[in-house]
Structure 1
Amino acid sequence: MIRVLIADDEPMIRAGVRAVLATDPDIDVVAEAADGRDAVELVRRHRPAVAVLDIRMPGVNGIDAAAEIRATVPDTSVIMLTTFGEDDYILEALGGGAAGFLIKSGEPEELVAGVRAVAEGAAYLSPKVAARVVAHLAATGAGALAGRRSAARRRVAELTAREGEVLALLGGGLSNGQIARRLHVVEGTVKAHVSSILARLGVDNRAAAAVVAHEAGIITPRPSPP
């Protein structure tokens, strides 16, 4: 079972997230929180595989809660729930180690896929979130969209052919194990490639590497469940 914590200050949103996750028999929501402080405490108590956090919550916000969870309970992966207009927060959360980003108004299947992906150690960016992050970077003085895409492609071109394959799969939301099976190699080899990719791209985590993959346009989609 994939044990999950939900944190959002709106009871209706929490109920909706719980209802969507309940459609997957392998997912068990073990706790709910209405603010970031309670989320951190409940993660410490229940040790879920995944914490699904709203970005804006009273007291301790989702970004600060995510950073504390990653620092104190590193086995718990964090997914951030965002709404339109929170792009700056998404970029901040990327640097804080969040593994997944989903839009509250997105398709329910994305929520289930995102929880499954990060529980398996993958990074998961909703396609809409990825597109917004890339566009937002271009609109905030970080380089025009075409320039960022060109720069990302140059960075990817400096990777080995195999590292490029791994990055494309990583950007599509696959875990190390899934990438290993897709490429017919052992998982340890994939881990070594991922470490090299992060170092050569100059990014801190898989989610940030996934953004580069989206910018470069090399995503290999995650396979649909049977």
Structure 2
Amino acid sequence: ILDNLSPVELESFSRCNRKFQHFVKIYKTSVFRIEKIYGTFFDPPEVIGEFQDLQGSTGLVVSGSTALGFFTRGHYAGDLDTYCQLLHSRVVGHWYQSHGYGYVPTDGQLDDLDADIDRVNAAIRADTPTIAVFEDTDIREYKLHNIAAVWNFQHGPRQIQLVATKYSPLKTILSFHSTCVMNVVTHRAAYCLYPKLTLESRATLLVDMEIPLTEVQAYAVDKYVRRGFSVLH
């Protein structure tokens, strides 16, 4: 029953009596656990704590489907989308590599991660456009002016994308194609920027998209329609 209640409904249910309040408290402790979203990508469990320490020291944040799934209490298969400023990307990339994730260069990237980070830094200093290849249709629809590079890391079937931004990662997240993916998990908390629309109404508002949508845009939006969101524009 509790799985089908929205956050507001859960709060209302918990106020019925002390017994229900106890049930809801146990339920929240069970479902809103960081292990629910990070456990797929990091093991043993102690590594999750190390990852949060990395987030705290570098400003690394998690967004995309993983963050959305934390709030909706659903599981959406896919990559772990992580974001940090370019100046911290080397530390983050090395951490991924030290925990079993191999760097997988895409077209235009150098085979060595350090060399490619140097390439991107040099291009930005020279004010030369950089090429970022996105696997996720969501990211391909983002405004790219704040994105310096995207590096992929693979560990068996698990993949992490490191999106390096020129300025604050939030600048990129606030440029996402629709509101339902504007969610962030930091080292200490998770934030849903449009909780009423996303979690109560199960709706998403398209941002800076013109109708008719392109094929890529329509595919990205349809992914959330299949997940139960109605689309507003």
TM-score (norm 2): 0.27
Whichever structure has more helix as a proportion of its residues is 1
Return the structure number with greater relative CO, CA threshold 8 A, min gap 6: 2
**Higher radius of gyration, 1 or 2:** 2
Higher strand share: 2
